[in-house]
Structure 1
Amino acid sequence: MDLPKIVAHRTEGGWMLTMDGLAPAYVRRLSEAADCGRALMKAAGVPGADNGIQLTVDLGDELNQRVKAATQATVDARKAQLRAAVELRRTASALKSQGLTGRDIAHVLHVSPQRVSQLLAQSTAEG
């Protein structure tokens, strides 16, 4: 079952909420939009409103694209960070298996000796 949809548009002094079959409503803060819209839908007997709503913020094409791009860049950066962490653990483990000391590994990887201990412990825990 699809959740009822609310679209919030920025207006002077707040947000206009549009909902299928209902007159627009206005809230001062975006944080109030979901609760207000859900309450109005429930009062109007909109099917599915008891199960929640889907809130979309429409800031216009340019800002919508910028928000989407910024959000995706954050997701991509987090994925890259996770891949880099895996590679750093594997590299620390490979250096250890070649007989390097923790301090030598720290120097090679440009991290602290404490970080090397963490990397090796995590690498061992992952198996």
Structure 2
Amino acid sequence: MSAMDLPRVVAHRIDDGWKLVMEGLEPAYVPRLSEAARRGRALMEAARVPGADRGVQVSVDLGEELNRHVKASTQATVDAHRAQLKAAAYLRRTADALKAQGLTGRDIAHVLGVSPQRVSQLLAARDSSG
């Protein structure tokens, strides 16, 4: 069962806590967002909502503007991670090419602006990946 198949709890920020909205049930209130899943699930199980015994899906609604900022910042983090992986792969290929030209590990480190230990890691990654 995927999270999309679970009953949904939508948490809205209000005053000093969170209002939990669940289809077919009265709203509930919790002081901390970390309590939303437990409380929403307990209420849904008590109301015999199908699937609640397996869990609930909690989503946060902070309003259009903040939701957009959250989504954009989360995507920026994912994009940065992907760029980091791509840069590391490129650095490994470059270290390999420099090694193939006969440069020493220390020379490669100097050329790439990394430590000799990092060069050892880069070259070892090549050796272990085949």
The one of 108, 113, 117 equivalent to 1:114 is 117
The one of 31, 41, 44 equivalent to 1:41 is 44
Deviations 1:27-65 (A, max 9, x none): 000000000000000011000001111111000000000
The one of 81, 85, 110 equivalent to 2:84 is 81
CA-CA distance at 1:124 after TM superposition = 1.0
1:13 is matched with: 16
1:55 is matched with: 58
Give the residue type in structure 1 aligned to 2:49.
V
Deviations 1:59-106 (A, max 9, x none): 000000000000000000000000111111111011001100111100
Let me know the Cα RMSD of the aligned residues.
0.8
The percentage of aligned residue pairs carrying the same residue is 72
Moved over 2 A (4+): none
CA-CA distance at 1:123 after TM superposition = 1.0
5+ long unaligned stretches in structure 1: none
1:68 is matched with: 71
TM-score by length of 2: 0.96
Query: In the aligned structure 2, how far is the partner of 1:125 from the partner of 1:117?
Result: 12
2:107 is matched with: 104
Partner secondary structure for residue 57 of structure 1:
strand
Partner secondary structure for residue 23 of structure 1:
coil
5+ long unaligned stretches in structure 2: none
